[in-house]
Structure 1
Amino acid sequence: MNILLTGAGSGLGKATTEYLSRFGNCIFACDLKPPVKENNIIPMAVDITQENQLKAVFTELQKGHVKLDAMINVAGIFHMDNLLEIQEERLVKMLEVNLLGAIRVNKIFFPLLREHGKILITSSEVAPLDPLPFNSVYHITKTALDSYAQALRQEAGLLGYHVITVRPGAFATPLEQSSVPSMREMSESSRYFGGQAERFAKLMRMFTGKPADPVKYAELIEKILRKKHPAAVYTIHANIGLRLLALLPKNMQVSVVKLLLK
């Protein structure tokens, strides 16, 4: 298979790139700092927030008569912050990468996708749940991405294409590891939520448990690519605590969070 994969330079994207390439798949590995060129891995240095850069990669592939069997959207960034104090630049960046980046990639490269090809969109386990404090902007981008995936599933499905949403929980990646320093930064700088931010970070570590091996995610992606009729949504390594909290009435969720962060 010929596969375009974003976020290939680290975390889940890197693990998936390496894993899929072992099966003889040709991976066009897109990232700001893509992996080095190896057998079946073709690095593509590109910023998915820049339409002109994506179009340049498209033109390069088109000139090489490349046809894609799948597009896998993994690129994403994470930062814990609060809605009342988040810097505008950080807010826009998270929206650009986590949501608009995927929309751009799929729109620009769709003409290269073979008939009945697959578009995989990496959302998050939190996407269908109610948001928690300090994880709100990331959550908003992933919930919007989930809605986008369903809308694209409807439209691309009319043309015979498969759109699959993958909702991973916590995995041992740089993105997951960034939660502690970003929460510490907010705790030190916030006028409103200093102590509560620290307590929330401890609670999240307790709730999340041990992050999973990124290879498990890569194995799931490989299975999805092989399926003739994949499911619409796959969830992997979900956090049961978050799911249970989301089952409560919304006002009760607020009360529980207040109690836990008191």
Structure 2
Amino acid sequence: MNVLLTGAGSGIGAAIASLYADNGHRVYALDIKPAAPAKNITPFAADIRDEGALSAVAQALREQSVQLDCIINVAGIFLMDSFLEIGEDKLRAVFDVNLLGAVRVNKIFFPLLRKNGKIFITTSEVAPLDPLPFNGIYGVSKTALDAYAQALRHEAGLLGAKVVTVRPGAIRTPLAQGSVPAMRKMSETSAYFGGQAEKFQRIMEKFTGRMLAPERVAQKIYKVSFKKCPKCVYRIHNNVLLKLLSALPKRWQVAIIYRLLGGKKAEKARRAQR
């Protein structure tokens, strides 16, 4: 099997690359900071924001007459911030990677995909849920990616290819572990939400619970890639409490978050600033 993989340098991507390679499959591993070449792994330094770099990789594979069995989209970035304070450049960067990066990859490499090939799109457990404060920028980008996957599922299906959405929960990766310093930075720099950001981080750590090893996600994708008729969506280690919160009426959600994060205190602080 020939696999094109993004985000292969660390976390879930690195675990996927190792699993396929260890089982004798060829992995074409894309990352901004690619790992060193290894048996059955051909690394490429490529930024998924750069259409030219991706096209160059596709051309290199085309010249080697490579046909892909799977395109696995893992690359993404994580950001904790507020929609009321984030700069537009940072906001664009999140969507440029988390949404448009996958769009570019699938468009450019689709001509190399076998007729019955599969495209995996890794979103998040938060993708189908109502977004939360401070995590909303990341969440909205993943919701958009989830919707894109469904649209692509229709289009690729007309051409014989399968599109599989993977929604992992809390996974022990550099991306997830970066949330703590990100929230700490926000609590120190936010003009509005210093105390609330800190509270949100503590609450989310309790909600999240045990993080799953990235190898578990890799094993699921590996197994599904050999299925003739895979499901459209696979959920891995999703948090029941987050799902329950999202199922509540939106007014209730707002009231719960307001109470948990000390909304009255935030309102008083804002009035004092005027």
Q: Give the TM-score normalised by structure 1.
A: 0.99
Is 1:12 aligned with 2:12? yes
SS of the residue aligned with 1:238?
A: coil
* Distance of 2:138 and 2:190 partners within structure 1: 18
The answer for the alignment partner of 1:111 in structure 2 is 111
Give CA deviations for 1:169-226 in whole Å, capped at 9, x if unaligned. 0111000001001111111111100000000000000000011011100100111111
Name the count of aligned residue pairs: 262
* Distance of 2:20 and 2:253 partners within structure 1: 40
Alignment map for 1:149-188 (pairs within 5 Å): 149-188=149-188
Give CA deviations for 1:59-111 in whole Å, capped at 9, x if unaligned. 11111111100000000000100001012221111101100000000000000
- Give the letter aligned to residue 42 of structure 1: T
The answer for the alignment partner of 1:98 in structure 2 is 98
Give CA deviations for 1:198-255 in whole Å, capped at 9, x if unaligned. 0000000000001101110010011111101000000000011100101100011000
Moved more, 128-137 or 17-26: 17-26
SS of the residue aligned with 2:99?
A: helix
- Give the letter aligned to residue 93 of structure 1: A
* Distance of 1:224 and 1:130 partners within structure 2: 28
- Kindly, what percent of the aligned residue pairs are identical? 58
The answer for the alignment partner of 1:72 in structure 2 is 72
CA drift of 1:115 comes to 1.1
* Distance of 2:249 and 2:256 partners within structure 1: 11
SS of the residue aligned with 2:70?
A: strand
* Distance of 1:89 and 1:158 partners within structure 2: 36
Superposition misfits of 4+ residues, deviation over 6 angstroms: none
Alignment map for 1:196-211 (pairs within 5 Å): 196-211=196-211
The answer for the alignment partner of 1:232 in structure 2 is 232
Alignment map for 1:49-60 (pairs within 5 Å): 49-60=49-60
* Distance of 1:186 and 1:86 partners within structure 2: 10
SS of the residue aligned with 2:33?
A: coil
The answer for the alignment partner of 1:34 in structure 2 is 34
* Distance of 2:242 and 2:26 partners within structure 1: 37
Larger Cα-atom Rg: 2
The answer for the alignment partner of 1:255 in structure 2 is 255
- Give the letter aligned to residue 133 of structure 1: P
* Distance of 1:253 and 1:237 partners within structure 2: 23
* Distance of 2:113 and 2:213 partners within structure 1: 30
CA drift of 1:166 comes to 0.2
CA drift of 1:19 comes to 1.1
- Give the letter aligned to residue 69 of structure 2: D
* Distance of 1:144 and 1:190 partners within structure 2: 26
* Distance of 2:199 and 2:26 partners within structure 1: 45
SS of the residue aligned with 1:163?
A: strand
The answer for the alignment partner of 2:87 in structure 1 is 87
The answer for the alignment partner of 1:143 in structure 2 is 143
The answer for the alignment partner of 1:62 in structure 2 is 62
* Distance of 1:205 and 1:79 partners within structure 2: 16
SS of the residue aligned with 1:226?
A: coil
- Give the letter aligned to residue 86 of structure 1: I
Q: Give the TM-score normalised by structure 2.
A: 0.95
The answer for the alignment partner of 2:272 in structure 1 is none
* Distance of 1:83 and 1:118 partners within structure 2: 35
Gaps of 5+ in 2: 263-274
* Distance of 1:207 and 1:135 partners within structure 2: 14
